[in-house]
């Protein structure tokens, strides 16, 4: 009897968990398609929730003006105007380019509880968000260079 209740309880928790985690990708491709479109490093990070080593990515120290887009689907995610030097070795922003550019999910892997950030359109893994960022939001969107493509702001025409 007790075991049955445990099963019911687990099922209930499972359903609730699923509901919370049920962000749906607008752009959805098979693993093979993503693999063919991305470099192995981009695939490992954006599609397999990997993390690049700190201070090794192409964009952590990028100070140019421009837009950071999803490496998988090209959705604009962050602006250089919200980028700041966090000292972590990963591109860090105090906010996304718009409230609906990214979605978050709970991530309890690696014995930690963190909040994962994903591209709203294709569910690419971008990194994690932490409540230790600067003003005005106090948030740190800690991303992987390999999950982003940088588009420099066009120089004004002469």
Distance CA 140, CA 90 (A): 11
Contact pick of 38, 59, 117, 119 for Fe ion (by CB under 5 A): 119
CB atoms within 10 A of CB 81: 14
Q: How far is the CB of 80 from Fe ion (least distance, A)?
A: 19
Q: CA 40 from chain center: how many Å? A: 17
142 is catalytic: yes
16 vs 48, which CB is nearer to Fe ion? 48
- Contact flag: residue 121 with Fe ion (CB under 5 A): yes
**Given the rule CB under 5 A, which of 18-26, 28-36, 121-129, 138-146 is the region that contacts Fe ion?**
121-129
Q: How far is the CB of 45 from Fe ion (least distance, A)?
A: 13
Residue with tokens 């695939």, as numbered in its chain: 43
Any residues with CB less than 8 A from the CB of 3 and at least 6 apart, and which?
none
- Contact flag: residue 73 with Fe ion (CB under 5 A): yes
């Amino acid at each position: 009897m007790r075991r049955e209740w445990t099963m019911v309880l687990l099922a209930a928790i499972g359903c609730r968990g699923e509901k919370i985690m049920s962000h749906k990708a607008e752009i959805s491709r098979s693993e093979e398609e993503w693999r063919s479109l991305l470099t192995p490093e981009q695939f490992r990070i954006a599609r397999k929730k990997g993390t690049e080593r700190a201070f090794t990515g192409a964009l952590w120290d990028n100070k140019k003006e421009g837009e950071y887009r999803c490496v998988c689907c090209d959705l604009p995610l962050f602006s250089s105007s919200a980028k700041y030097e966090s000292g972590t070795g990963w591109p860090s922003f105090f906010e996304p380019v718009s409230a609906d550019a990214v979605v978050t999910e709970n991530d309890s892997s690696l014995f930690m509880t963190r909040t994962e950030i994903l591209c709203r359109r294709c569910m690419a893994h971008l990194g994690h968000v932490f409540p230790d960022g600067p003003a005005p939001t106090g948030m740190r969107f800690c991303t992987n260079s390999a999950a982003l493509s940088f588009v420099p702001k066009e120089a004004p025409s002469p």
